[in-house]
Chain A
Amino acid sequence: MTYAIEVSNLKKHFGTIEAVKGIHFQVKKGSLFAFLGSNGAGKSTTIEILCTLLEKTSGEVTINGHRLGTMKDNERIRKSIGIVFQQSLLDKELTVKENIIHRGRFYHLTKAQLIENYQFVWQYLKLGEIELKKYGQLSGGQRRRADIARAIIHKPSILFLDEPTTGLDPHTRKFVWETIERLRKEIGMTIFLTTHYMEEAANADQIVIIKKGEIIAQGTPNELKERFASDQMVLSFKKEADIQQIAEQLGYVMVQFGDVYKVNIPSTLHAIPIIERIQPFLTSFEVIKGSIDQVFIHINEEAGDMNAT
C-alpha cells in the first residue's frame, strides 16, 4: 500500500449545488500534498469529507486502507488522522495542557500512552513556556503550536492542515513550516495541506488545483511550472537603441511595460544567446524563473475563460 489517501470519482451535492464534481487523486505515503483553490472552490468540502465530518454523495475514498463510509471504518480513519483546523478550536478557558490532555482522552488512549504522547508533543512543539497558560491568552503563533500539538496527540499517520498559516506573522509561519517538515521527515507523517500561499505549495511533492469542484491541474511543482508558467526576460535599452529592429531580431514577442520590455521564453537558458546578440543595446536585464504563483494565476484564469465561453 503506497497511498495514504485514494480518492476516486468523489462527488458532493448540497441540494442542487454540486460542490465537488467527481474528483480523482492519490496521496503517497509520507509525502507533502498541497490542495490549492480559491475560496469556494470545494477545498473545504473535500477536506471535511476526508476527515469524516461530512458525508459524501458518491465516489470512493480510501484512507490508510480503510474505506470511508461505514461507522467502523470511519472510526478507524479518525484514529489515524489528525486535523489542524483553519480556526482556533481549543477551549479558551482551559490551559494548553488541559486542552490537549482532554482531547487526547477522546481517542481511547491508555493513561500511560497519553502521558507518553503528551511528553512527545511537549518536546516537539516546545510547549514548556505555554502549557500552563490559558489558551485564550495566547498569541496567534502560540495558539497554532497548541493546535498542532492537539492534532498529533494520538500520533496519527496523516496530518490535515486547513490553511494553517493564514494570518500568522512570518516568524510563526516559519516555525509551522519547520514543524511540518520535521513531522514528515523524522516520523514519516503524510501531510495534506490546503493553502493560499503559493510559495508554500512549492515545497510539496504533489499539487492538486481545484476550481468549482473540479480538478483543473495536478502534478509536481516543477511539472506544473513547466506546463503553465513561462520564464521571462526583462530588458531595458539604451535611449538611442532602435527598438523596432531589436524586436525583429529576437524571434520572440516583446511587450512594453513602462520603460522596460518583457519577453516570455521557454526556459531561462534560452536567454543566453538573446542577451549575447542584443548586448550592445542593453542597459540592464533580468531573467525570471516561472513561479508557482504564476501557475496558479494562469490556470485559474484559463479555467475561468473556459467557463466563460
Chain B
Amino acid sequence: MLLSLVSRNNKVFFRNKLLVFFSLLSVLILIGLYAIFLQNLQLNSIAEYVPVTPEIEVLVSEWMVAGLLSIIAMSATLGVFGIYIKDLEAKTTADFLVTAASRYKIQLSYVISSCIIGFSMTFVGFICCEIFIVSIGGELLSPIAMLKAVGILILAVVMSSMINLFIVLFINTETAFSTVSTISGTLLGFLCGIYVPMAVLPTAIQSAIHFFPVSHITVLLRDVFTAQSVEKVFAGYELYAKTYKVDYGVIYEIDGSILSSLMSLLFVLSTIIVLGTLSALVFRRKYK
C-alpha cells in the first residue's frame, strides 16, 4: 500500500514535465550564471594570490559543482511536495482517504517519494558533474572521496526532505506553494554562499548563513570536491590556502576557530531529527 502510493507519486512526478523542469530551474539558473560571469570573477580573484595554472579552472568548477549538488537536493525534494499540495487542493487526497490508506501513510508516501526522487536526481547530477570535471581536465574523485560525497548527498536529500516537509505542512494552496518555491529557489543560492562568496558578505549575514543547515552540506561537499585541487593550486602558497577556504566557504570559521566537518555533520543530523519531530507534531495537530 505504502509502496503503491510511493510508486504513484513517482510516476506523477516524472510524467509531469513542468514539475521536473521547475525542480531543476534553480540549477539551470546557477549553471547559466556561472557560464556568464561567476566563474571568471572567481578565477580572477584567485589569480591575485597564486600563479595562473589550468588547475585554477578545475578548482573553481569543483567549487561550483559542490554548490550545485546541494541545491538539487533542495529543489527536487520541494518539487515532489508539489504533488502533495496539488493533491490537497484538487481533493485527490479525499480519493485516497476513502480507501484503506490512512492520512499518515499518505503523508509518509510523499516523504519517501521526495527522498527517492531527490536522491535519483542528485545522483544523476553527481555523475554529470564528475564527467564535466574530467572533461575540463580535472581528476575523478578518489573512491573514498566518492563514498564520502555520496554519503553527504544522501544526508542532503533526507535533510532537504525534512525541511521542505516542515514548510509544506503550513501551505494549503498551489499559489502559496509556487510563491514559496520561487523564494526558496532564489534565496538558496545566496544562503549557501554560491552566488556571492562568503567573504564579500557582511559579517551579520555570514553568521546567519552559518546557521542555515543546507549551507553546511555545501561546505562539506566543497571540502570533498576541492581537496585535491586546493593542494595543487596552492602548492608553495599554503598560507593562502586557508584564506581561500574561509573566504569561499570551503570551511567555516566561527569566532576565530575552524568548524570541523564532524560539527557540520552533527548540525545536519540534528536538523533532520528536530524538523522530523516538529513535522510529526504539526501533522498531528493539523489532522487530529
Contacts and interface: CB of A to CB of B under 8 A. Distances in A.
Interface of A: 51-53, 75, 78-79, 81, 83, 85, 87, 89-91, 93-94, 98, 102-103, 105-108, 150, 154
* Interface of B, helix, strand, loop or mixed by DSSP: helix
A98 B11 CA distance: 10
B232 interface: no
**Among A78, A85, A91, A107, residue most surrounded by chain B Cβ atoms (within 10 Å):** A91
Contacts, number: 59
A40 B1 CA distance: 35
A89 B11 contact: no
B173 to A, nearest CB: 16
A90 B12 CA distance: 11
Contact of A107 (B16, B97, B99): B99
B1 A108 contact: yes
A93 B12 contact: yes
A87 B90 contact: yes
B109 to A, nearest CB: 10
B3 to A, nearest CB: 8
Nearest to A86: B91
A131 to B, nearest CB: 16
B94 A85 contact: yes
B86 to A, nearest CB: 10
Contact of A106 (B1, B90, B91): B1
A83 B98 contact: yes
Contacts of B92: 89, 91
Given A87-B90, A105-B4, A106-B1, A75 B95 contact: no
A85 B91 contact: yes
Interface string B3-47: 011011001100110000000000000000000000000000000
B239 interface: no
Nearest to A78: B98
Contacts of A52: 97-98
B15 A89 contact: no
Interface in B226-275: none
B100 interface: yes
Given A78-B99, A83-B95, 5 more contacts: A53-B98, A83-B98, A87-B90, A89-B91, A106-B4
B101 interface: yes
Given A89-B91, A105-B4, A53 B97 contact: yes
Nearest to A106: B99
B96 interface: yes
Contacts of B99: 78, 103, 106-107, 154
Given A53-B94, A78-B98, A102 B15 contact: no
A85 B15 contact: no
B91 A102 contact: no
A91 B91 contact: no
A32 B16 CA distance: 40
A51 B95 CA distance: 10
A71 to B, nearest CB: 9
A93 B97 contact: no
A91 B98 contact: no
B273 to A, nearest CB: 29
Interface string B82-123: 000000001110111111110000000000000000000000
Given A93-B16, A94-B11, A94-B12, A106 B100 contact: yes
A85 to B, nearest CB: 7
B114 to A, nearest CB: 17
B12 A106 contact: no
A91 B8 CA distance: 9
**Among B7, B11, B15, B98, residue most surrounded by chain A Cβ atoms (within 10 Å):** B98
B69 to A, nearest CB: 27
